[in-house]
Amino acid sequence: MHKDPKILVFGYGNPGRQDDVLGVKLAEAINEWAAKKNYDFIETDTNYQLNVEDASAISDKDLVIYADASREEMNDYLFTKVFPDPKVNFTMHHVNPAYIQYLSNELYQKTPESFLLHIKGYKWKFLGNLTGKAESNLNKAIDFLKSFLEQHINGRGNH
């Protein structure tokens, strides 16, 4: 019998800073999609940033997708594998996904397969709306992630 994987999509960013909300909006869209598909094994979570406590949240998952807005040079979005790393990189987000992976392994001896979905953003002013280009990137990232998750769920997700 086919066992459904336990999946977490964690979007983070500041909803009050224009394109910084991209990760949060992606998680919200995936939550709505998963509910319509009756994929009760897909959980979503959102926050302003990742915190050390998130190591506990991922420790019982098979797959974790982190989603965040990015200022990096890229096309619409970039999907990268996350490997555990004990270095704490203090950036706008207090800790990075690699450190959360490391903590999960250290504290719970569990390291779920994980990826970071970077979504290209353009503007970061307070209380502004999502830019049109970022919204387009978000929609492309949502479509990509739905397809990726469907492949993973159906056992075709060889990474």
Which pTM value belongs to this model? 0.92
- Angle formed by the axes of helices 132-153 and 22-36, to 10°? 40
Q: Is the pLDDT of residue 2 over 90?
A: no
pLDDT of residue 122: 96
Backbone angles phi, psi at 70, to 5 degrees: -140, 145
**Is the four-CA dihedral 120, 123, 128, 131 of positive or negative sign?**
negative
Task: Give 37-88 pLDDT, tens digit per residue.
Answer: 999 999 999 999 999 899 999 999 999 999 999 999 899 999 999 999 988 7
Q: Let me know: does 77 contact 40? Beta carbons within 8 Å.
A: no
Identity of the residue numbered 38: N
Residue 90: pLDDT band by 50, 70, 90 thresholds? low
What domains can be seen in the chain, in order of their start residue? 7-153 (3.40.50.1450)
Residue 127: pLDDT band by 50, 70, 90 thresholds? confident
